[in-house]
Structure 1
Amino acid sequence: CQENQQYDEGFETFESADTIAAVSAGIIVAGTMLSAFTSPLGPALIISFGTLLPIFWKPGEDPKTVWKAFVKIGYRPFGLPVDEAIVNLLYNKVDALKTQFEDYQRYFDIWKANPTSQNADAVKNKFLTLDTLVIGTLQELKKDYAIILLPGYTQIANWHLNLLRQAADNYDKWAPSSNLSIQSIYPQDYISDLNTCLTNCSTESNNKVSSKYYKCILKCRIAEYINHCSEKYQDGLNQLKNSSNINWDIYNAYRREMAFTVLDHIAIFPNYDPEKYPTGTHSELTREIYTDAVMRRYETGSPIPIAQREQELTRSPHLFSRLNKFTLFTAKNILPGLHAVQNHFSYTNDSTVRLSPIYKPENLSEPNTDNPPPFDISNTAVRSIAVKRRYEYYHITAIDFDTIDGNPRRYNSGYTPENLGIDYFIFTEFPAGKIPPYGLGTKYTHILSYIKISPRGNLSLPAERELSFAWTHTSVNFNNTISNTITTQIPAVKAKSLDPSSSVISGPGHTGGDLV
């Protein structure tokens, strides 16, 4: 997550008290899922609701904190204050579900420890009641405030898939001689929901409630939740694009926050399918996110179009890359400060190091590479950054880089302003025991992947710069290592080269990254 101290403008970033709780929860849930799915036993015995639920209800904290933050994120496309009535609508529903999930987990644990027919019957009945309740809740959240409630909806959908996976694995153990018909458990309006998919499940299971039936239902629900989340995310993004007075950081914050709270999760949803992934699975999130740019939030003159800002401050779709080294150049012919930057990167499992252009304002000369000498960081991974600048300007005089190897580095232009402003870029860490084991294997969730300086010149001072940082998730394995005990997913975007007829395009959101 990011923490900006914008003393001169007071801009609210996503790590404000309004949204940081949701972002942190989203990052931890994704890490919990990625870690759990790597078990050769699969997730059914690993992702306990006793593990998931406390992420959203922390001791000593207002129980609505995380849920209000989810709603705040959902409100971004509308540019309106949060309606407490909608917060209460969401919270009342999840609070009721929390009690029911806790009861289910208690019954499940009792049955697991002592699998008698009486205990099996109790957990089966609790599952059937809870399943119906969750379905009804999700249907209600899809109605009037679907975009606003999307981050909260995604969390409940995840709980439901976890619940259905447990039924897919265990229902035949709960009711080994069951002859119950589907209609006796669920009303007809439920059967007609999702039409063909659910009807096919009835046919495949000979109209009987069974583990086979729930394996089929699980597939239906995975598809339903991914489609709904992808569609409503895109609706919100389109609404934001068409909003008046939109600036880059508001637009970028919505994309980033939705990645953490929605898109990362639905990219992992397919792993719940026991027929597709009968053993553990190593999944990766190859998407690249951008923290708030270090620049003025409120532009003078005509607003700069979002498409132009995207070109100036982000990379076009590309093969997944690792930042091997970056070089920062200092200007001396004006006030000393950051002048330009160049990235040295490589593609997955490839020793070839590629160079980016030197990014700088287009109206300024190429940096002098001799005096002063450039500043390099190489062969390490940066996990957090502190940018130091003049209080009233975006004249960058120093940058502190913290690395996962514990050896901090500092870029220093040699100039110290009297009034200092600091922009912090710090991400939530994985809890102990919830670190995806096949990536970097670190508690740090994101590492720096690219730096850009906007080509825009003629800012308030010649020494001012517009600076953007890109980050990737530490679940990614840089060597494409294939496990001999679990399924290893290697996205095509992790290739080291492309056929001339191929290209990389932006992912639709639910794929965890770009597509080839």
Structure 2
Amino acid sequence: MRENIKNYPYSRALQYPLLLNTPYRAVPYPNIYPKLYSSKNSNIIPTKLDNIYSRSQEMCTTSSSNISREFMITAAGIVWALGGFIPGVGNIIAAVPGGLVNVLLPVFWEADTSDQTSKLMCDMEILINQKINEYAFNTALAYLEGLTRLLMVYNQTIKDWRESQGNTGFQKAAEDVREMFREVHSHFIVAMPMFKIYGSEIHLLPIYARAATTHLTILRDIVKFGSQYGFDEKTMNSFYEYLKQSIAEYTNHCINTYTQGLESTKKQKADLTDIKRYPWVRGNRDNFQGIENWNLFNAYRRDMTLLVLDLVATWPTLDPKVYTTELTQTQLARELYSDIRGSDTLGVSTSYNSIITLDNIENNCIRKPGLFTWLDNIEMYYNMYTLWAPLGTGPDFNRLSGIKQKISYTCSDVQEEYLLGVLGSPVCSVKKSRIIETKVDIDAISTQLNITSIEFLDQNKDSISNCKISSSFEYGTFTFSNQIPEGKFNSTYSEAIGNFVPSHNLSRICAGKSTPQGLSSDDRFINYIGFSWTHPSINPKNILSPNYITQIPAVTSQKLFGNTKVIKGSGITGGDLVQLSPKSPMILSVTVPVGFTNYTMRVRCANQQAGSLIIRSNDKDGNQTTTTFSIPQNKHYTADLLYESYQTVTADSNIQLESSPKEEMKYDLYIYSEDMEMIILDKVEFIPQKFNKYK
């Protein structure tokens, strides 16, 4: 087995005493490793990189603006697995030594990555409208290729170790694992800076996040199971300190780089002369400019959330000394947005300037910080429109004028209703159901687009309702499909992951008009429409796991009181946050499975001052119970809520949440502080302590 790496020229140099006893010391890789690979490595030579950059640039000229679907679905599958929602696969990942290596590495690190990674970096060029530096491209690709091949050897070493258990070669196999781990760990330390080369950090961010996820999970495996491989306690503690440091370092780099890219894409202007990319743009391009500018900006936010930030949100659970159960069920409460469709009806063709701008759409379509909501009902309305009004010379047709939606909060029967636009004649009503895709038909009429129908589809791709607003004209109809993530995951390496990656759920419809109310007769009509989507990990009943740690986002509370409010998340938590004010509680409802009675509670919070947090509830007999958290001061707190701002605090005592022998039970938890000026809650965690007493 060691035949594959015995001629590897840096295998001994990379072990350097540094990594056994001094995990914080920087590796002087520029002098020691002039090249990560050379022609001497007959068995692990990366694919020749000559002309790959040139081929990539040729690919970029024909590429779309969307990140490769395969990467998107793969990232979603990894998040789904790390979040503890794939039966069987999750157990393998968390409970078996080397489980991640055996199940996830082939998904993230396929044997031939050059063309796929080139396509990803090409898509990133288009996403941020900036070419990647050739040196950064070739360097990152070479290091990625090298890591891929080394990880394949590591994967086989783990398999050999498993198969050797009980045999005479077990000790030798364990020694091979230890040596290979040191080499893999060393190579990650060398490679990670190559995935954030100055000037190309944004291009390389998805690759950085992929490598970081792999490095952290392999470190977790060693910290949790290292004794089975023969590591001593001192060495395992050393790697644990490196794991904690790396989670913080990788997290902060990802959010800082993501934010840099987000600000940059705000300045992008869609090239509407590109008729291949924008075939629906007709006549006056100013009628479309604001919408397509926003779509470019939002594409970065959406795609990078799926490729990077969702992964980042799972990293804290890779600390095996904090998250001690086999799995941690993590829920992502963030919201994503598909492209806006429609056009301005006035624009510069009149004396009025278009108000459909990036900021206008952000204000109309991006959800303000608030509690997580569920979409219960949709009603649509139309009014009659005369083309070329007010001259009245054109044909009359129906035009979408109003959308009424009903929403509710988690574990609450109380509904809220709001109307976008104005009422008119009813088009359709869509009852509560799981909608995972919408299809919008839009007709190109003169220099405008008119929404003619909206179809809603369920998880089986069956039509729930097709809301037909008007008949199509002969000018040309465009059908836009909206779904997150798009496509189906068909990786041959992990069918189990692909089969359990559901699409996002429709959570809200947004809409806007061309003009302020009262400016023109056109203000009755909706000119553009968009859709918001939430991650399928959120449970509508906040059901606690009987076997694993359950993380419940604070924003899935059903009610807030006083000055307590929801604030925008920092991007690393998978959603928004709840900021508690003194004596202003929030109500978080959870559902206890049959027969489970005893949980240890924790909170993941950000705070400056020390104080106490109180959770009050009633038991099944109506008696009030109280659990207190002694929250220590966090000296690392910063206003921008970087990783170090958060800490996990355990309650002073367990909480009794008992269900009956035959049915689950809902509990309302009143969470508040009496002496802390401000504490920000990310998640409330429940660790099961007592199992089913009725079995």
TM-score bin (small chain): 0.7 to 0.9
Name the residue aligned to 1:286.
333
Are the equivalent residues in 1 in contact too, given 2:427–2:468 (CA < 8 A)? no
- The normalised TM-score by structure 1 is 0.81
Name the residue aligned to 2:642.
none
SS in 2 for 1:332: strand
2:368 to 302, 316, 341: 316
Asked which structure has the greater RCO (Cα within 8 Å, sep 6+), the reply is 1
**Per-residue Cα deviation, 1:404-453 (whole angstroms, up to 9, x for no partner):** 266412111241222211111133446753379xxxxx752211100011
Q: From the superposition, tell whether residues 346 and 14 of structure 1 become closer, same or farther in structure 2 (CA, over 3 Å).
A: farther
Name the residue aligned to 2:220.
165
CA-CA distance at 1:83 after TM superposition: 5.5
Question: Over aligned residues, Cα RMSD in angstroms?
Answer: 3.1
Name the residue aligned to 2:94.
43
Name the residue aligned to 1:117.
171
**Per-residue Cα deviation, 1:198-240 (whole angstroms, up to 9, x for no partner):** xxxxxxx7xx42x232223211111111111111111111223
Q: Which has the larger radius of gyration?
A: 2
Could you tell me which runs of 5 or more consecutive residues in structure 1 were left unpaired when the two chains were aligned.
1-10, 179-204, 361-365, 437-441
* Matched AA of 1:26: A
Q: From the superposition, tell whether residues 37 and 513 of structure 1 become closer, same or farther in structure 2 (CA, over 3 Å).
A: same
Are the equivalent residues in 2 in contact too, given 1:70–1:149 (CA < 8 A)? no
Matched, 1:422 2:479: yes
* Matched AA of 2:496: G
CA-CA distance at 1:278 after TM superposition: 0.6
Q: From the superposition, tell whether residues 170 and 297 of structure 1 become closer, same or farther in structure 2 (CA, over 3 Å).
A: farther
SS in 2 for 1:489: strand
Separation of aligned partners in 2, 1:389 and 1:158: 41
Deviates more, 1:140-149 or 1:152-161: 140-149
Could you tell me which runs of 5 or more consecutive residues in structure 2 were left unpaired when the two chains were aligned.
1-61, 271-289, 387-396, 579-695
Name the residue aligned to 1:367.
423
Q: From the superposition, tell whether residues 102 and 482 of structure 1 become closer, same or farther in structure 2 (CA, over 3 Å).
A: same
**Per-residue Cα deviation, 1:85-137 (whole angstroms, up to 9, x for no partner):** 54433222211111111111111111122241110000100000110001110
Are the equivalent residues in 1 in contact too, given 2:381–2:426 (CA < 8 A)? yes
- What fraction of aligned residue pairs are identical, expressed as a percent? 25
CA-CA distance at 1:297 after TM superposition: 10
Are the equivalent residues in 1 in contact too, given 2:100–2:218 (CA < 8 A)? no
**Per-residue Cα deviation, 1:445-487 (whole angstroms, up to 9, x for no partner):** 2111000111333799986621010001111111011112111
Matched, 1:325 2:383: no
Are the equivalent residues in 2 in contact too, given 1:313–1:452 (CA < 8 A)? yes
SS in 2 for 1:149: helix
Deviates more, 1:70-79 or 1:92-101: 70-79
Separation of aligned partners in 2, 1:272 and 1:314: 31
Q: From the superposition, tell whether residues 69 and 103 of structure 1 become closer, same or farther in structure 2 (CA, over 3 Å).
A: same
Q: From the superposition, tell whether residues 352 and 14 of structure 1 become closer, same or farther in structure 2 (CA, over 3 Å).
A: farther
**Per-residue Cα deviation, 1:356-401 (whole angstroms, up to 9, x for no partner):** 2x212xxxxx322xxx334111121111111111135320111221
* Matched AA of 1:417: F
**Per-residue Cα deviation, 1:65-91 (whole angstroms, up to 9, x for no partner):** 542344245446752245565443322
Q: From the superposition, tell whether residues 232 and 394 of structure 1 become closer, same or farther in structure 2 (CA, over 3 Å).
A: same
Separation of aligned partners in 1, 2:84 and 2:344: 38
Matched, 1:24 2:73: yes
Separation of aligned partners in 2, 1:55 and 1:40: 17
Within 5 Å, which residues of 2 pair with 1:53-452?
53-56=105-108, 63-72=113-122, 74-75=124-125, 78-81=128-131, 86-115=136-165, 116-144=170-198, 145-175=200-230, 178=232, 208-209=234-235, 211-242=236-267, 247-279=293-325, 280-296=327-343, 306-334=358-386, 335-356=397-418, 358-360=419-421, 366-368=422-424, 372-392=425-445, 393-404=448-459, 407-408=462-463, 409-418=465-474, 419-426=476-483, 427-429=486-488, 433-434=496-497, 443-452=501-510
* Matched AA of 1:403: D
Q: From the superposition, tell whether residues 411 and 65 of structure 1 become closer, same or farther in structure 2 (CA, over 3 Å).
A: farther
* Matched AA of 1:359: L
Separation of aligned partners in 2, 1:161 and 1:58: 19
Name the residue aligned to 2:538.
476
Are the equivalent residues in 1 in contact too, given 2:127–2:299 (CA < 8 A)? no
Q: From the superposition, tell whether residues 214 and 514 of structure 1 become closer, same or farther in structure 2 (CA, over 3 Å).
A: same
CA-CA distance at 1:309 after TM superposition: 2.2
Matched, 1:467 2:529: yes
Separation of aligned partners in 1, 2:331 and 2:435: 19
Structure with the largest fraction of helix: 1
Separation of aligned partners in 1, 2:207 and 2:535: 22
Name the residue aligned to 1:500.
562
SS in 2 for 1:331: strand
Q: From the superposition, tell whether residues 30 and 269 of structure 1 become closer, same or farther in structure 2 (CA, over 3 Å).
A: same
Deviates more, 1:23-32 or 1:464-473: 23-32
Are the equivalent residues in 1 in contact too, given 2:77–2:501 (CA < 8 A)? no
* Matched AA of 2:409: Y
Deviates more, 1:139-148 or 1:323-332: 139-148
Deviates more, 1:390-399 or 1:505-514: 390-399
Are the equivalent residues in 2 in contact too, given 1:40–1:486 (CA < 8 A)? no
Q: From the superposition, tell whether residues 78 and 237 of structure 1 become closer, same or farther in structure 2 (CA, over 3 Å).
A: same
Are the equivalent residues in 2 in contact too, given 1:57–1:66 (CA < 8 A)? no
SS in 2 for 1:261: helix
Q: From the superposition, tell whether residues 326 and 231 of structure 1 become closer, same or farther in structure 2 (CA, over 3 Å).
A: same
Separation of aligned partners in 2, 1:13 and 1:446: 22
Separation of aligned partners in 2, 1:487 and 1:241: 39
* Matched AA of 1:353: Q
SS in 2 for 1:330: strand
* Matched AA of 1:434: I
Matched pairs, number = 458
Q: From the superposition, tell whether residues 295 and 47 of structure 1 become closer, same or farther in structure 2 (CA, over 3 Å).
A: farther
Q: From the superposition, tell whether residues 129 and 484 of structure 1 become closer, same or farther in structure 2 (CA, over 3 Å).
A: same
Are the equivalent residues in 1 in contact too, given 2:427–2:467 (CA < 8 A)? no
